[in-house]
Structure 1
Amino acid sequence: MTSYLFSVKWDLVLFDILDLNIQLVGGEIFMSDLFLSFVYSASDWKVPTTFIYGVKDWMNYQGAQEARKHMKVPCEIIRVPQAGHFVFIDNPNGFHAAMFYACRRFLSPDPDNESFPEGLSSA
């Protein structure tokens, strides 16, 4: 084991660690590319859509606002307090309130009569 430790080129290992830490996470790069195509395809969507974001989410909810401008179906953006990207973990009650609200609006014969959940915000 000792001989292995001395044979490692630590300068290369440290460079790799530094390189990984100063660049965007692969998922962030992927999501930004995916989101651009998503915004431009929004006009083709056929189903009412509700976006749910945590108030502290690293994803930019303004992208959903841009997509909504192109949509021909009802679209809502709900922001849940005390939650980041994993809304369902960070604030399960807020997440469930947002989900139930979205489902009730979708299934209701009079969606505009559904009351918005207390504590959540609309963007």
Structure 2
Amino acid sequence: MEHYLQAGSADEQQEARRFIERGTCFLAYNDGKTMRFAPSRFIGYQNNTFDKHSSNAERDGRVTNPAISRLLETPLPLADTELEEQYQQYCHSLGITPRPKGSFGVSRKYWRL
């Protein structure tokens, strides 16, 4: 996701922002300067690309979230007020107006690295 945001074409950067805007579950990580947020429904697939993702008819957060939790050896993501505030700031830094909730009106949840 970070590659698309930093080095992708204008269309890829826009698509990356859409994933972040619409996401519900995120891996939150610090790049040394700021918190960043990678949506689970994209990063939960090995070697994923936008092309692979759009052609994967079986993509589903109910698959990626347990896979990410197993990999990180942590529970499923949880709501976190502090990370929600940082997510909002991150969105604004990307020119995104964050939605009040994630997809399907569900509260956003996070894993923290």
TM-score, structure 1 as length reference = 0.24
Instruction: Work out which of the two has the higher radius of gyration on C-alpha atoms and give 1 or 2.
Output: 1
Which of the pair has the greater relative contact order for Cα pairs under 8 Å at 6+ separation? 2
Give the structure with the larger helix fraction: 1
